[in-house]
Structure 1
Amino acid sequence: MIYLGIALLLTSAIASPVYNAYNNAVSSDDYMGYRLPGTQIPSNYKLNIVVGKDVIENKKNTFDGMVEITFKVKKVGDEKLDYIKLHTPSEKTSEVKLKNDKAAEVKIKAHEFNKTSSIMTINLESELDPKMTYVLSMSYTGNVDSKSMYGLYRSSFKNDKNETDYLLTTQFEPVYARWAFPCFDEPKFKATFDISITHPKGYSVLSNTLPVDDPKENGDDQLTTTFKTTPKISTYLIAFIVSHFTCTQGENIDTNVIHQVCSRGESSANRLLAANWGKLILNAFEDYTGVIYNQTGLLKMHQVAIPDFGAGAMENWGLVTYRERLVLYDEKESSDLDKQSIVSVIAHEFTHQWFGDLVTCNWWNDIFLNEGFAAYFQYIILTQVAEASPWQVEKQMIVDQLQPVLVDDAASSSKALTAIAATPDEVNAKFNTIAYNKGASIIRMMENIIGSDNFKKGVTKYLQNKQFSNAVPSDLLSAMEEQATKANLPEDTSLTKVMQNWLNVPGYPVVTVTQRGNGIILKQNRFLYDKINPSSKSIWMIPISYTVPSDEKKFDTAPKAWLSTSSIPIKNVFKNNSDWVIVNNKQGAFYRVQYANSLWKRIADQLMHDHTKIDVLNRAQIIDDLFNFARADNQMKYSQAFQHLNYLGNETEYFPWVSALHSLNFLLTRVGDHTTLGVSLKLKVVELIGGVYSTLSFEKDDSKLSLQRDLIFNAACKYGAEDCIKNVTTLFETYKTTGK
C-alpha cells in the first residue's frame, strides 16, 4: 500500500496513515489477545455480499453477507480443539453451523464476540479432529463505513449531470477485511476465495479475478456477479467495487493479461497513460523475476481510480485501487512531474503483485518485506523500461527515500525494521518511513554487497521458494545467501549475520574517518541528533566502499573492507598524503560519514576545483551529511558546513540540489523568513542557486530537465531571486489573459 502522503511527496518522506480506526492503544504485553491461536487453517472461502440500491445510495448503512469457510485444525501446544476463533464484523451473526467432511454437524455450545479485538469465539461441544476438514457457515450483518474509508465503504462524486453518484469499494489492509466478512484476518492465513456480489441492476462489479459469466438475475431488480476462484491470497488483499464506472483498455495489449483502467465516465480520456505503462511495468517484472503474472492464476489487471480514498493506492491482487490524481493523467493539464509520479505509484503497486501478494510477510512485524521491496522497485524496475530512462530513477531513490529516512531514523525513539506490532494501533503504525524508506535502503545495500546479478537471482529464488505462501526475513536472507560470493562478505561470516543488526536494531551508524599515515582509521557510533552515543552497544557490520583520486575503478559500491567492530584501520589508502577520500560510494549503504577536518577540507577543495571528479550521488551525500551534522548537537557548526559547500554555485546537477534544498528549507523554517538570520540565509541561497538557475529556461524542456526546472525555479522564487519572480509574474499575467 502507498499512503497518500507517500504518493504526493514522492520526492520527500513517506507519511503515516491519515486515519487510525482503532483508538484504544493497548500494550504489546496483550499480544495474544489480538492474535488468532493458529489452530484453524483456512483453505477456501465462499463469500456472498448482498448490497441493495439503498445501501449504495447512502440510505442504509448495513449490508448482509453469507460465508462458508473450509478449514482444517492443528494442535498448538496443549490447547484443546473444542473452539474456533476468527474475526467477524460484529456480533450480528445467525445460522452459524459447522460440518465435517462427512457432512456431519458439529454441535455449537455458544459464541461470544470481543469488540476490542473483533474476534469471535465459537465454543463447541466436542473437539475437532486434525485429520478431518470442516466447513463453517454463517450469515451476518456488516456496516458500510462512511467515515474512515476502511473495510467496505461508500464513495461519491458529481457526474457529468452534476448529480451525486455513489459507489461501494473496499480497503482491507492491514486489519479491515474483518469489517466486511468473517475471516481469519491475519496475513499468514492464505486461502482461495470464491466471491459473489449481489447488487442492483445498472451497476457493475469488479473483484480480484474475472467473472465466471455474465451476471445472473436474482429477482427484485438484483443481479449476482460471481467471480472465478482466486489464487491463495491473504484476506487484506481481497477487494471488490460496485459502481457505474467504465473501463479503458491499453494500446497493443497482449491476450495473456487483460489491462484496464476504470474510473467515473467523465475521466475516461485520462486513463490511457496508466493502462499503457501498467503493461510495460508488468512485463518488466516478469522479465526481472522470471515469475509470470498470468501463471499465478490471474488473467487480468484492473487499475481503478476511487474518488474518496484514504490510502494513496492499494495493491489488491489483480485490482489495484488509487486516488484519482495518482492514476489519471490529463495530457493537456498534467505536468511531466505528474506523469512520473503516476508511473512511480503504478510501479510501487505492481511490485506488490510479487512482493506482498504472491509472497506475503508472515506478520506485520516484517512489513518491510512487502513495503521495502515496493519502495525500492518503484525506482529499480523502471530502469528496465526504456521509456523511463530520462528520469534517472535509480538516482532519485537516494534523495527521495534514503536521505529523508536517515533524518527520521536519527531520533532516539526510532524503532527497528522488525519491531513487534501486536495491536491494530501498532500494526497501523508500522506503515511508516522505516518500513518503506529504510526497508528500501537496506535492500539496496544488500544488493550492493552481493552484486546486482546475484541479487536478481536471489529475488527469483525467494519468490519461487515462497510463492502463494508467507515469508520472514530469514527466508529472504537464505535465498540471497545461496547467491552471495564469499569475497564480498567478512571472513567466516554469513549474509544473515551481516544483516542482523540492520534489521533488528533501531537507528544506524555514523562512520568517522581520520587519517593515519597513508591509511585511514574508521570508527562507528550510532548517529543521533541529540548526541553521538558512545555508550551504545549496537555494532553494525558496515560495508566499506571508498574512492581516492588514483583509483582506476572509482565509486564502485562493492565493499572493499568491513567495519565489524567499533574501529578498524585500513592501510595503503592514499598514494599521496594530500589526496581526498570518499567513503560509502554512491551512498550505497545506510550510514553517514564524518571526516576529520583536514579530510573535509580536501573534499571541499576538490569540489571547488572540479566537482565532477566526485560522483554526483556522493556530492548529494556530502551535502546531506554536512547539514545534518550541523543540525545535530556538537558535531559541526553551520558556518563550517556552508564553508565546505560554497561549490554549490557551480553545481548544475539535480540530485545535489535536492539534498541541499531539503536542508536549507528546514533551516529557513527554523530561523524564520524575516529574521536577520533568515534574510542572510535567503541571500546566500540566491547567490548559490544563480549558477544552475541560469542554465534553465522557463520554456518547457525535455522531461530529463522537468524535475530540475521545478526544483530550481520553486527554490529561486521562494528565496527571493528577482529574475525568477519577474518571470513567474509575466507568466501569470499571460495566463490570465490567454488561459495558457
Structure 2
Amino acid sequence: MGCELGKLASSSSSKKEIENGTVSEPAAPAPPDPRLPFTARQKYTMVASWKGISRAIETTGVNMFIKRGKCVLVFALVQLSLETPLNADLLQSKKDDRIENKNWKLKNGLYWYEQHNPLAFNDPPTTYRLPNNTLPVRYDIFLKTDVDKHDFNFYGQVRIQIRAMETTDTVTLQYRDMNVTKVTFLDMNGQVVEHDVPFEYVEPRYYEFLRISLPRIMTVDEKFVLEISYSGILNERQFGFYRASYTERDTEIYYAVTQFEATDARHAFPCYDEPGIRTPFGLEIQHDKSYNAYSNMKIASNITLEGTDYVVTKFEDTPLMQTYLLAFLVAPFEEVSNNNTQLPQKIIAKPSSIRNAEYAFSLPKLDPIMKALENLFAVNFTLSKLDHAAITQFAAGAMENWGLVTYREIALLFVPSEYPETDEFLQRRIITIIAHEDAHQYFGNLVSPHWWTDLWLNEGLATLYEYYIAHLVFPEWDFMQWFREREVYECFKIDISTAATSVPMSRYVEAPKDIDDKFDDISYGKGGVVMRMFQEAFTVSTFTKGLSKYLTEMSYKAAVPDDLFSSLQDAFKEDNPELVFDVAEHMGSWIYQAGYPLVRVSRSGNLLQFKQQRYMSGDEIYSIPLTYASKSQPDFNRTDARIWFTQKEIQVPQTLFGSAIDEWVIFNVQQVGYYRMSYSSELWYRIAKGLRHDLDKIHRINREVLVDELNIGYYILDELLASDVLEVLLYLDNEEHSEVWNRADLLLFTITEKLFATAVYEDYLKYLQFITRPQLERLGYEELAGDDHDTRLLRMILKTHNCHSLDDFCLSHESKKLELYMQNNQNPTPNFCLAFRTATLTTYIHYLNEITSNPDLYNRYSIVNGIACSLDKSHLQLLTVIIEDEKNDLENFERVMMIEYMLTSSIVGLEVGFDYLERNLNKISNFVVAIKEAINTQEYSEKLDALLDAALDESFISTEDAEEIRDAIKLNLEWQDKHFEAVREWIEDLDDKINETTEKPTTTIPSTTPDSATGMIASIVLILVSGTLIRFFV
C-alpha cells in the first residue's frame, strides 16, 4: 500500500490521563518535510462551463497556475464578448470597442476549484489537496502544555465531527511533526463505537496525510466523530504551535503561541487544513495557574484541577472559520484595555512592556480604526472582543487571527528614540499594521478565499484599506501618499516582464512551499494597487457599496473572484443604470494577467492616438481606466474612469480633452491607475509649458508622476532626448515639494554625469544653478530646529545639485564652515568635497599635513575624499605629489580614493588626474570604475586608448579590464552622438528660456584656472617640496 501503519495504543488514552500527565510521549515519527519539491508530470482535467455550455479539456504543463501535481479542476470562462463602454463621457461605445485579445481568459482566467478527487489508496498521492470525500462539521480541541517548566512537549486530543460527502470507509486529514497515539470512532451522541481505529501516515510523508480506516462504510451525509490523541513539540521555527521567550529580572521565561497561516494548523492538531473549509471550534487548554491563556473568543470558564497547579481554560465557541485563523497564547502576560463596552479591545504583552507603557501610542488608535471600518462598510465587527498581543519572537510580523491579532512587538509597541524620523516611521507603520489586521477581520476572516489561488482577495484588499482607513482616521499623516511610495512604485519595479516576480494575481499553487511563496508583493502590493484603481474608476462610493454587498452576502463563506465581481456589478448597475458594463470582463484582464500596461499617446492631426502594450514587452491587452486633466479642464480631483481603453489602439478627438488644439493634457490623474504613460516629444513640450505657466493648476502628485515618467521615457525606454528632459525640468525653480524633487534627483544626476567635461558642461551648470537656487534660498541653507522630514529631504537634494553646479551660494557656505571646523572640530561638520573646492592655500596645506601625518584624524575618511575635489589646479598638482610620495602615512586605498575623486569631481580634476595616470601607468588597473564614469569626449577617449595600449603592452592591466573600460566609453560616446547636439542647441537658448519667467542668477561658476598670485605661490611650493617631506609646510 505504500503506507506505514501507525502504532496502535493498547488502550485508549483518556483526557484525564493526559491531564494528569501519565501518558508518556511516544517517539515521534521522522518529521515530514512539507517543503520538498514535487516533480510529478503535470496533467490536468479541466471542465469549462458558461451558461450551460461545458466541455472537457485535457492539457499538459499549465504552469501559469499549477506547478506540480495532478488534480481535477473546474473553471468558469468569462463571457467572451460583451458591449463595454469606451468613453463614459460619450455614454457608450460601439460594438467593436471591446478587448481584442481574449487569450488571457484561456491562459489565466481560470477559477480553480477542487473537485472531488479521492486519494487512490493503492498508489502514493499525487496532490497536496485533501480528497474531500468527507468534510468537518466541528472541532473540539483539548491541549496540555508545561511550557512554564521549560517542558516543550505538548499533548492534545481533538474530536472532529465529520460528514461523509460520499460513500467512503476512510478519512484523510493533514498533520505535521506530531505523533498520533490513538484514534477512536464515536457516534454523534459521543458513544464509543470503536476504540482502536487503524490509521497510517501516508507515504511519501511530505504530503502530510494521515489516513484513518473507518470501522464501516459511511453513506452520503452520514455524520460521525473521530477522537484523536496525539503529542508534539513546541518548535522554535515561529510557525505552528511554537515556543517563544523573553527575559524578566535575568530569568528566561518561555511561553507558547501559535501562527497557523498558511498551512501550520496541522502542527497543533490533525485537521482539514484548507482555507475554504469553515467550522466552529471549541477549545480547552490545560496550563500552569501562573500563566494566562488567550484565544479567539472570550473565556467561558477557568477550572482549577484539584490538588494540582493546573488550570483548564475553556473558551467560547468560535463562529464558522477556517483552521488557519484559530489562535491561542499561553503566557504570563499582562494586559491593558481600551474600556470600550461595545467592543472591548486589549493590548496583551510581557509585563515589562505594560509597566513601561509601551502600549501608549497604539491603544488610543484601536477604536477609531475599527469604527472607521464598521462605518465605511456598514458591517459591524462580529465577535464580542478583539485582543492585540505583542509576541517577542514572531516571524510573520502580524497575523489577523479572528479576535486575537498577534504582532511582532515592534509592530504594536512603541518606545521613543532619539531619532525623530525613525520614531515617525515606526508610528506610521504601527498605524498601518493595525489597520491592515483590522481590515482582515472583514477580508479574510468574515469572508475568505476558497483557495490560495485568490489570496489577493485577502491581502490585496487589506493592503488597500490599511492605508485608506489610516488616511481617513489620521489625514494629517497623508497615508495615501505613503501608499503610492511603498506599494505603487514597488509594484512598478517588480511587476515587469523580465522579472520572475511578475505573475498573475490569481494563480494556482498547491505545495506548502508554493503557498508560502504566494504571500508576496503581487498578492499584497499589486492586489492593493489594482483594487485602488477600480475603487477610483468605479468611484469610491460605488466600490464601497459593492464591497459592503460582498461582505454581507458572503459572510462566513469562502469566496472566489466571481463573488466579488458579482457584488461590484450590482453596485455599478445601481449607480449607472444607463451603462452596459461587465465588471468581471474589465477586472479580469488585470487579475489573470501578469504585468501592467504602458500607454503611449501622440497627436495625429486633430486626434490623440493611444497605443497600449505590456510594460517592458508583451502582447497582453488590459482594460485601462483612463483619466485626464487639461489646461481648460484642470480638474485633478476627478479620478473616475473617463475612457475605458480596451483595445490595442484607439484614436480620440483632441477636443474631448480641451478646447484648444495645442493645450497641455495629462493622463492618469493622481496616479490612481496602475499603468505608465509615455508622451510624444510634442506633448511633453506642451506639458513643459504648462508646468512653467500653469503650475498652480497641475496637481502635486501628477507633477511627481510626470518627472517619473520623464525618467522612463528618457532612461528606460530611450525614446526622449536629454534636451527634452531639460525642457520639462526647467520649471523646477518653482517646485516646492520634496516628492517631486526626489523623483528628479536621479534624473539630474544621470544627465550631469553624461555631460561632465563636455563642451556644454559649464553652461549646463548654470542650468542647475537656475533650477535649484530659488528653492534653496527659500528654505535656507542650514537646517532649522523645526524642520520636518520633507523639508530636510528637499534641502538635502537642492544642496547636492546646487553645490554640484559650483554656485557661490553653496560654496561660500561650505568654505566658511570648513574654516570654522579647522579652528574647532566640534563646530558643524562641512561637506568636505564642497568645502575644499574653493579652500585657501593655507587651509589646503593644513589638511594635507593632517592626512599625511595624523592617522587618527577625526573625520579622516571624509577629508581624504574631499581634498581631491578642489577646483584649483595647483592644489591638485600638489596633492598628486603627495599621493606619489610613498614615504608619508597615507594608506594605499586612500591614494586610490583621492585619484578617483579627482577624476570625477571637476574638469580640472580630470586633467590633473589623467596626468597622474600617464605618470603612474602601472597603477591604472586601480581606477577602472572612475575612468568609465569620467570619459565622455572623443579627445579623452583617444588619449585613453593610447594609455590602455601602453598598459596592456606592459601587462599593467588585464585584457578584461581594458575591454570593460573601452565598452563603457563606447556607450558614453554613443550617448553623446544621440544627445549632445540637441543639448547644445537647447542650451544655447537657455538665457531666453529663463527670461521667459524670471531673472537668471547673477552668480558665476568659479574659474578652474588659478589666479596669478595663488598660482605663483603654489608653483613655488611645488618646486620646494618635490621629493622632500611635507612637514616643510608647518
TM bin, normalised by shorter chain, reads: 0.7 to 0.9
Is the 1:399–1:655 contact (alpha carbons within 8 Å) kept by the matching residues of 2?
Answer: no
Match of 2:359 in 1: 271
Q: Give me the whole-angstrom Cα distance separating, in 2, the residues matched to 1:306 and 1:638.
A: 53
Shift in alpha-carbon separation, 1:224–1:588, aligned structure 2, 3 A:
same
1:321 to 406, 420, 425: 406
For residue 16 of structure 1, what is the aligned residue in structure 2? none
Alignment pair present for 1:136 and 2:221: no
Q: Partner residue of 2:627? A: 545
Q: Which of residues 56, 59, 68 in structure 2 aligns to 1:29?
A: 68
**Residue 465 of structure 2 aligns with which residue?**
377
- Post-superposition Cα deviations, 1:506-532, rounded to whole Å, max 9, x if no partner, equal 11111100112333111100101xxx3
1:89 matched to 2:176: yes
Does the 8 Å CA contact 1:519/1:574 hold for their aligned counterparts? no
The residue aligned with 1:15 is none
- Secondary structure of 2:466's aligned partner: helix
Alpha-carbon spacing, 1:313–1:628, altered in 2? closer, same or farther (3 Å): farther
| Greater Cα offset, 186-195 or 83-92 | 83-92
Q: Call closer, same or farther: CA 1:307–1:565 in 2, change over 3 Å.
A: same
User: 1:625: how far off?
Assistant: 2.3
Aligned 8 A contact 1:197 1:205 in 2: yes
The alignment status of 1:308 with 2:393, answered yes or no, reads: yes
Q: Secondary structure at the match of 2:530?
A: helix
Q: Is residue 348 from structure 1 mapped to residue 436 from structure 2 by the alignment?
A: yes
Which residue identity lines up with residue 333 of structure 2 in the other structure?
F
What is the aligned partner in structure 2 of residue 254 from structure 1? 340
Task: For residues 528-561 of structure 1, give each alpha carbon's deviation from its aligned partner in whole angstroms, at most 9, with x where no partner exists.
Answer: 1xxx34xx1x211111211111116445112222
Q: Which moved more, 1:710-719 or 1:339-348?
A: 710-719
Amino acid at match of 1:645: L
Contact kept? 2:468, 2:480, Cα under 8 Å:
yes
Q: For 1:48 and 1:541, locate their aligned partners in 2 and report how far apart those are by CA, in whole Å.
A: 52
Would you say the 8 A contact 1:193–1:229 is kept in 2? Answer: yes
Q: Distance in 1 between matches of 2:521 and 2:182?
A: 45
Please point out which of 378, 384, 392 is paired with 1:299.
384
State whether structure 2 residue 486 is matched by structure 1 residue 400: yes
Partner residue, 1:623:
707
2:645 to 563, 574, 582: 563
Distance (Å, rounded) in 1 between the aligned partners of 2:578 and 2:829 = 59
1:14 alignment counterpart:
none
For 2:603, the equivalent position in structure 1 comes to: 515
Equivalent residue in structure 1 for 2:288, among 184, 189, 200: 200
- Give the paired residue count: 683
Identity in percent = 28
Q: What is the CA-CA distance between 1:66 and the residue it aligns to?
A: 0.9
CA distance in 1, matches of 2:398, 2:775: 35
Q: Is the 8 A contact 2:35 2:206 kept in 1?
A: no
CA contact (8 A) 2:634 2:698 kept: no
Counterpart mapping for 1:109-508 below 5 A = 109-114=198-203, 115-146=205-236, 148-159=237-248, 161-217=249-305, 219-250=307-338, 253-268=339-354, 269-293=357-381, 296=382, 298-330=383-415, 335-385=423-473, 388-412=474-498, 413=500, 414-485=502-573, 492-508=580-596
What CA distance in whole angstroms lies between the structure 2 residues aligned with 1:682 and 1:231? 68
The answer to whether the 8 Å contact 1:168/1:242 transfers is yes
Q: Partner residue of 2:133?
A: 39
2:294–2:330 CA contact under 8 A, matched in 1: yes
Q: Unaligned stretches of 5+ in structure 2?
A: 1-32, 40-66, 72-126, 804-809, 831-1034
TM-score by length of 1: 0.84
SS in structure 1 opposite 2:316? Answer: coil
Q: 1:301 to 1:91 in 2, by over 3 A?
A: closer
- 1:62 alignment counterpart: 153
Distance 1:709 1:304, change over 3 A: farther
Decide whether the 8 Å contact of 2:377 with 2:547 is kept in 1: yes
Give the Cα–Cα distance (whole angstroms) in 1 for the partners of residues 222 and 717 of structure 2: 64
SS of equivalent residue, structure 2 residue 425: helix
Q: Could you tell me how far apart the structure 2 residues matched to 1:559 and 1:113 are?
A: 54
Letter in 2 for 1:272: A
**RMSD of aligned residue pairs (Cα, Å):** 3.5
Q: Quote how far apart the aligned CAs of 1:72 are.
A: 1.1
Cα distance in 2, alignment partners of residues 49 and 716 from structure 1: 62
Whether the 8 Å contact between 2:636 and 2:670 is mirrored in structure 1 is no
Shift in alpha-carbon separation, 1:586–1:35, aligned structure 2, 3 A: same
1:546–1:555 contact (8 Å) kept in structure 2:
no
Q: Is the 8 A contact 2:266 2:273 kept in 1?
A: yes
* Cα shift at 1:658: 5.3
Aligned to 1:13: none
Q: What pairs with 1:626-645 in structure 2 (closer than 5 Å)?
A: 626-636=710-720, 640-641=724-725, 644-645=728-729
Which structure's relative contact order is higher, taking Cα pairs within 8 Å and 6+ residues apart?
Answer: 1
**Matches of 1:108 and 1:610 in 2, distance apart?**
81
**Structure 1 residue 683: deviation in Å?**
13
Residues 511 and 523 in structure 1, CA contact (< 8 A), matched pair in contact too: yes
Cα shift readout 1:25-47 (whole Å, capped 9, x = no counterpart): 33533154111122222222111
SS of 1:168's partner is strand
Q: Distance in 2 between matches of 1:682 and 1:67?
A: 75
Shift of 1:699: 5.2
Per-residue CA distance 1:13-69 (angstroms, 9 max, x = gap): xxxxxxxx85423353315411112222222211112111xx4554x4431111111
Residue number in structure 1 paired with 2:22: none
Describe the superposition over 1:215-268 as per-residue Cα deviations: whole angstroms up to 9, x where unpaired. Answer: 433654222111111111111111111112111122xx3202111111122222
Return the alpha-carbon distance in structure 1 between the equivalents of residues 414 and 660 of structure 2. Answer: 55
Query: TM-score w.r.t. structure 2 length?
Result: 0.61
Q: Is the 8 A contact 1:547 1:555 kept in 2?
A: no
Task: Provide closer, same or farther for how the CA distance between residues 706 and 222 of structure 1 changes in structure 2, counting only shifts above 3 A.
Answer: farther
In structure 2, the CA distance between the partners of 1:452 and 1:638, relative to structure 1 (3 Å rule), is same
The question of whether the paired residues in 2 share the 8 Å contact of 1:518 and 1:576 is answered with no
Measure how far apart 1:332 and its partner are.
Answer: 6.6
Distance 1:473-1:639 versus aligned 2 partners, 3 A rule: farther
Max Rg structure: 2
Opposite residue 207 of structure 2, the aligned amino acid is S
Residue 696 of structure 2 corresponds to 612
Name the SS for the 2:779 alignment partner.
coil
Q: Paired residue for 2:51?
A: none
> What is the rounded CA distance, in whole Å, between the counterparts of 1:187 and 1:498 in structure 2?
27
Tell me the distance in 2 between the aligned counterparts of 1:363 and 1:244: 36
SS of corresponding position for 1:116: helix
Contact 1:627–1:638 (CA under 8 A) maintained in structure 2: no
Kindly state the Cα deviation for residue 463 of structure 1 after the two structures are TM-superposed: 0.3
AA of the residue aligned to 1:560? R
Instruction: Give the secondary-structure state (helix, strand or coil) at the position aligned to 2:674.
Output: coil
**Could you tell me how far apart the structure 2 residues matched to 1:304 and 1:686 are?**
54
* Deviation string, structure 1 residues 452-495 (Cα, Å, up to 9, x no partner): 11111111100001111111111111001001149979974411
1:449–1:559: 8 Å Cα contact kept in structure 2?
yes
Residue ranges of structure 1 left out of the alignment (5+ in a row): 1-20, 734-740
Is the CA contact 1:48–1:197 (under 8 Å) kept in the aligned structure 2?
Answer: yes
Deviation of 1:729 (Å):
8.6
Q: Distance in 2 between matches of 1:282 and 1:581?
A: 40
Inter-partner Cα distance in structure 2 for 1:365 and 1:255: 39
Superposed CA offset, 1:654-674 (max 9, x none): 54345456x669989xx99x9
